[in-house]
């Protein structure tokens, strides 16, 4: 079976403190793990998240071989997002049956 690598981007979206949600906003298929890791790290360095609206910089933390957490301080609050290179290991249909990958 061929490996199926993706880049995943998770972040806070929405407006107003009561409507913020943590969401998987991007899933991008990559050719292999190396490409997924390179694209994930590039997102960690360059991606402009919805929040904060006025970023004052960023701190990029590598929390695993294939995962980065990025802290973005804003004018009134700090936010973060997570970028990962991930291997798809299973896919199920709505009945819970294993689909083909």
Q: What is the pLDDT of residues 18-42, one digit of tens each?
A: 788 899 999 999 999 999 999 999 9
In this structure, the strands spanning 67-73 and 5-13 are unpaired
Question: For the whole model, what pTM was predicted?
Answer: 0.85
Could you give the percent of the chain with pLDDT greater than 90? Answer: 62
Whether the per-residue pLDDT at 44 is higher than 70: the answer is yes
Whether the per-residue pLDDT at 10 is higher than 90: the answer is yes
Mean residue pLDDT of the chain comes to 90
Q: Distance (Å, rounded) from C-alpha 41 to C-alpha 21?
A: 23
Whether the per-residue pLDDT at 17 is higher than 90: the answer is no
> By the 8 A CB rule, do 56 and 74 touch?
yes
Q: In the chain, where are the structural domains located?
A: 5-87
Q: Is the dihedral of CA 31, 32, 37, 40 positive or negative?
A: positive
Q: How many CB atoms lie within 10 A of CB 51?
A: 19
């Amino acid at each position: 079976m061929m490996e199926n690598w993706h880049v995943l981007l998770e972040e806070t979206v929405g407006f107003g403190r009561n409507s913020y949600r943590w969401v998987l906003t991007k899933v991008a298929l990559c050719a292999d793990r190396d490409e997924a890791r390179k694209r994930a790290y590039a997102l960690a360095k360059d991606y402009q998240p919805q929040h904060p609206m006025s970023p004052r910089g960023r701190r990029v933390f590598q929390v695993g071989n294939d995962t980065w957490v990025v802290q973005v301080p804003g004018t009134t609050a700090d936010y973060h997002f997570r970028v990962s290179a991930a291997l798809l290991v299973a896919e199920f249909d709505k009945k819970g049956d294993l689909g083909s990958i």
